[in-house]
Amino acid sequence: MRLRRDLLLLSFAAALLGAMAARAQTTSDGGPANSDAAKSDSPKADSAKPRPNLDTAEGRKTALDDLFARLAKAGDDREAGVIAGAIQRVWLHSGSDTADLLLSRARDAMKSKDWGLSEQVLDKVIELQPDWAEAWNQRATERFSADDFSGSIEDVAHVLALEPRHFGALSGLGIMLRQMDMKKEALRVFRKALEVNPRQDELKKMVDKLAPEIDGQDL
């Protein structure tokens, strides 16, 4: 039974990585993910923009596109950290006060390691807001912390379908793949996370550790 579960996990992880690669190819060909970032090249234009309304999906998308464009150009770790924190705060907005409050309660339960309560609340949040990437991400985090890798990987798939730039979900997926001894796939995911958020020192250390072993196999 354990072997069957592990094989299913490996198959699911491989399918998820294939979907990520297909999506990356689409966006690299000039798809939607690249179209908005170019609009943020001018600092003067950024300062003249009105603040996006985070209560609307359009406002959150505008804010995130701008922040990710700035993150890619961050001049040092401090600036990158501030921008990454701003991105994470936008992710915590669903547009629903009720869902936001429930997510906050779930996060408090996770801090107390009350996995049962946190998952129960997160199930409700996802039921209310199934298109909210952060709800899925928080449940993926909770399930990972509770050693439910299969559930966590399933939730990460939802996160990345909704927000492929979610560097937290990418990092978590890479860690799970590495723990499943899928080192080559883990390296791929870590590198993808660094493409999105280049100034992640811990991920850089993981890549530096894995790269000589994995890249050497391809020679």
The three-state secondary structure class of 42 is: coil
Residue 190, token pair as written in the block? 């870590």
- For 190, residues 6+ apart whose C-beta sits below 8 A from its C-beta are 170, 171, 174, 203, 206, 207, 210
Cα–Cα separations (whole angstroms), residue 73 to 65, 80, 170, 197: 13, 9, 20, 10
Separation in Å, CA 178 to CA 59, 111, 148, 153, 209: 36, 25, 15, 13, 12
Q: What is the pLDDT along the chain (219 residues), one digit of tens a residue?
A: 444 444 445 545 554 555 554 444 444 444 434 434 334 443 444 555 678 899 899 999 999 999 999 999 999 999 999 999 999 999 999 999 999 999 999 999 999 999 999 999 999 999 999 999 999 999 999 999 999 999 999 999 999 999 999 999 999 999 999 999 999 999 999 999 999 999 999 999 999 999 998 887 654
Give the start-to-end residue ranges of the domains of the chain.
34-93
Q: Using CA atoms, how far apart are residues 134 and 137, in angstroms rounded to an integer? A: 5
Which pLDDT belongs to residue 44?
42
pLDDT of residue 9: 54
Chain-centre distance for alpha carbon 112:
23
Alpha carbon distance 203, 209 (integer Å): 10
Would you call 23 helix, strand, or coil by DSSP? helix
pLDDT of 52 reads: 87
Please tell me the pTM assigned to this model.
0.79
